[in-house]
A and B are shown apart, each in its own frame.
Chain A
Amino acid sequence: MTKLDEAAASCMKCGFCKAACPVFFGEETDSPRAKVRLARAVARGELELTAGVRRRMERCLNCWACTVECPSGVEPNKIALAMRSAYVERDGLPFLEGLIFRVGLRRPRLAAWGLKAVGLAESVSAIRLQGNPLRRLLPVLGMRRDKDLPQLGRRTLTSRLPERIEPLGEIRSEVLYFPGCAANFIYPEVGLAAVSVLRKLGALVVLPHELVCCSTPVFNSGDIEGARELAARNIEIIRAAKPDLIVTSCGSCGLTIKREWSEVLGIREADELAAKVVDISQFVARYADAVVTDGEVGILCGGPNGVLGESAKVTYHDSCHLRRGMGVYKEPRELLRAILGNRFVEMEQADRCCGGGGTFSIHHPELSQEVAEVKMRCLAESKAQLVAAGCLACVMQLTDSIVHRKMPQRAIHFVEIIDRALRPVE
């Protein structure tokens, strides 16, 4: 708590964070500076750890916008995380979260079976169809009735691929691919595209089947201890693999491995991994460039017309953790521009949070859609038919927001576009 007071002490309450915060809609209590002030009040004993303080700390997407905006170097998002952990420390976790964080996420095979069961229920009930009357049950589970439900229980990425995958040409690097839960369990085609891209660029890909959740949703919910357990297991596996690089295709996984295992969870051994973490777009930019300048093969040729159609326009949405956390925003744009030429268009406020925030969209369905409103307006104004992002949690939220508004666009992970455009190095 003294540490918390110290972290909040530099806040001069200028309020600049309010302009950046996506959940701030005018009520001061929702602003980052208010969260900092409330945390300070608890740290100094002016307030107890009340339910009211908790409710306010949970209205944060951990999107980092306030932290980037703050003139004084205060990190309101980290302060909110620390406060959430204080509650979990005192009260423990709710039953379902405990089951997922402490059991499911630690056992990938068990999780796969669990998801298969849910997936089977989805198929039998046909609940994914928007017209299905069973959807009336969704609000009981705290979801919107028209929520876009991804197909669960598909064959996982790790069950489709071996643990070592040779490159298509000669070995240029040896990388560990950290797919993250979404690319493993829910969107395996994105994981396949990432691995395919890596192989085409001469990477020998190590895909340890025992990797577990990166821990982002776990510490985001305040379960620091559970998150440490997951991080420690991953660190052990990654260390044993001794990769040249750790490649991620999800901004949150990448950020968490690169910084948060150390900065949020306090695991210092993670520091040695930090320099090795690259986002898949950085990897492509690095290796594709080398190839092009060497004049060997122009690899960014061809085109993704198969999926997009001749004239479809594509825009790019910055995942918060990819942009503000990992500092990656140039590479995805450069790649999309190289592939798509003038069919790539920028949208206004591309770096504004989509409102997903992992479990945030489940706990705050309405607020999440209020945040998404700005994104959807900018998407519509961009005239793009496709929005590409570097994080599957964003893709999920963007898709859901598009469906909710009955808009015609689609959301996609950019690695799928890159994979379709990329010819193997010969």
Chain B
Amino acid sequence: MDASKLSRPVLEELSSIVGKEHVLTSDEDRLCYAYDGQRVEHVPDAVVRPIDAGQIAGVLKLANEERFAVVPRGGGTGLSGGSVAVGGGVVLDLTRMDRIIEIDPANLHAVCEPGVITADLASQAQAHNLLYPPDPGSVKVSTIGGNVAENAGGLRAIKYGVTRNYLMQVRAVSPTGEPFTSGAKTRKCVAGYDLASLMCGSEGTLGVLTEITVRLVPMPRARRSLTAAFDSASAAGEAVSNIMAAGLTPATLEIIDNFTLRTIEDFAHLGLPVNAGALILAEFDGLSQCAVDEEAETARRVLAQSGAQEIREAHDEAQRDRIWEARRVALAALSRAKPTSILEDVTVPLPNLSAMIDRVERIAAENSLSIGTFGHAGDGNLHPTILTDERDQNEMPRVERAIAQLFEAALELGGTVSGEHGIGFAKAAFLAREVGETSVEIMRRIKRSLDPNGILNPGKFL
């Protein structure tokens, strides 16, 4: 392992800003901050753990003077390398800033620091009978700061939207070390450029979040969950489009393909229809039972008309858990089947969902790879998961090719290479293909104007 490239005076200066015990420089510590939830690792030169905006501003000012990179990090669970220090530098671990400052049931908002675990915020909100809807798969370990920086999605995005839709206000520190505020604790706010929104999904390249205000919604009081089995994955994809076209708004609408179904059944023995081409899982929720009933009944009719072989419904909490257990363990089941699992994130407009599913199957066959597909079908967001072994020299080139082909397919079908995981460095090469050179150039100009020295999270998507 390479030694830290930061000089002793710089490290001492960092220590004087955040305290000696909050600057980690040992090989062991640095290695533990070299990774996130994707494969590629880069060992940082130091890890700094600030406690407030003042310390963050101090670190960033020093970084601009001494020209070292600063990479903000929350739970380190990202899937596109957003918190990995590509060219070295300092990882800014924000998890000590983990206070929930207020939950206001009158204005339906919550204010918290960036290091709060998202599930903790959600459960505090729930105590006030309020819902914080964004629920990425990592909700129990990822932080609200990371969720905002990556604009995290989740299972409920189809009805409730993603993190951006809940962001009211941020306090942040600019790349050059100036604290600023954007947005307001109001439903409406058009005061100037929406810098809060700009921060959201910026993957930590434009500022370091220090305080976040999110909107909350009333907790739904009624819900119905059902599953429908289909002959083929593309038939299931059609059914998803039909449900949405029928004017229904499920809270969640998921799809699991045959390969994934069989893998889950082998793993968890849930009595799933393993011969089905794909399974759809849907949940409707709302404030009144009758509205939910109306949606669920219409959905049953649409699913039957779309060729569902078998429709099952949960009649109590235990049955509901059983239905969602299948979805919850999908990734676990897939990732146990092979040593390495690579989770992709392609997303297409709804009418092209079944075409995308067909393409995934073809790409798997062409490259002789096992790809299990599941995902948030209702919002067109699929998670084709390639099962492989990263130590297998023969297979890895085919894996790389398949990933590229998946991206191609998503773009050809009018979609995006990433619905919710972010670009980071893993997909940087595809950004221009998706948004065009001009768009990337505008992004670069924004980045340069805010961060002239390229301090914050360099090497990500631009």
Interface residues in chain A, defined as those with a beta carbon under 8 Å from any beta carbon in chain B: 9-10, 12-16, 18-19, 26-29, 31, 34, 37-38, 41, 46-47, 50, 52-53, 56, 71-73
Partner of A28, one of B33, B138, B142, B389: B33
Query: A13 — which chain B residues lie within 8 A by C-beta?
Result: 35-38
Interface SS, B side: loop
Q: Known contacts A15-B75, A16-B140; decide if A9 and B339 are in contact (CB<8 Å).
A: yes
The 9 A-B residue pairs whose C-beta atoms are closest, nearest first, are A71-B332, A19-B140, A34-B32, A52-B28, A26-B95, A15-B77, A29-B32, A72-B335, A15-B141
Contact B336 A72 (CB under 8 A): yes
The answer for the CA separation of A324 and B62 in the assembled complex, in Å, is 48
Whether B99 sits at the interface, judged by CB under 8 Å, is no
Q: Can you list 7 contacts pairing A with B, beta carbon distance less than 8 Å?
A: A12-B335, A26-B115, A27-B95, A29-B29, A47-B1, A50-B28, A72-B336
Q: How many A-B residue pairs have CB under 8 A?
A: 85
Contact A71 B335 (CB under 8 A): yes
The answer for the CA separation of A50 and B33 in the assembled complex, in Å, is 18
* A-B contacts besides A19-B141, A26-B98, 7 pairs, CB < 8 Å: A12-B335, A13-B35, A16-B141, A31-B32, A46-B1, A72-B335, A72-B336
Whether B165 sits at the interface, judged by CB under 8 Å, is no
Q: Which residue of B lies closest to A29 (CB)?
A: B32
Q: Mark B23-51, 1 if CB is under 8 A from A, else 0.
A: 01011110111111110000000000100
- Nearest-neighbour CB distance to chain B for A30, whole angstroms, equals 9
Whether B453 sits at the interface, judged by CB under 8 Å, is no
Q: Known contacts A10-B339, A71-B336; decide if A38 and B28 are in contact (CB<8 Å).
A: yes
- Nearest-neighbour CB distance to chain B for A350, whole angstroms, equals 18
The answer for the CA separation of A235 and B97 in the assembled complex, in Å, is 52
Whether B96 sits at the interface, judged by CB under 8 Å, is yes
Query: A41 — which chain B residues lie within 8 A by C-beta?
Result: 1, 31
Q: Known contacts A10-B339, A14-B37; decide if A47 and B75 are in contact (CB<8 Å).
A: no
Contact B75 A18 (CB under 8 A): yes
The answer for the CA separation of A14 and B119 in the assembled complex, in Å, is 16
Of residues 121 through 158 on chain B, the ones whose CB sits less than 8 Å from some CB of chain A are 138, 140-142
Query: A53 — which chain B residues lie within 8 A by C-beta?
Result: 28
Q: Mark B327-340, 1 if CB is under 8 A from A, else 0.
A: 00101100110011
Query: B35 — which chain A residues lie within 8 A by C-beta?
Result: 13, 37
Query: A27 — which chain B residues lie within 8 A by C-beta?
Result: 49, 95
Partner of B138, one of A14, A37, A38, A50: A14
The answer for the CA separation of A41 and B34 in the assembled complex, in Å, is 12
Query: A31 — which chain B residues lie within 8 A by C-beta?
Result: 32
Q: Which residue of A lies closest to B333 (CB)?
A: A71
Whether B76 sits at the interface, judged by CB under 8 Å, is yes
The answer for the CA separation of A57 and B453 in the assembled complex, in Å, is 39
Query: B115 — which chain A residues lie within 8 A by C-beta?
Result: 26
Whether B285 sits at the interface, judged by CB under 8 Å, is no
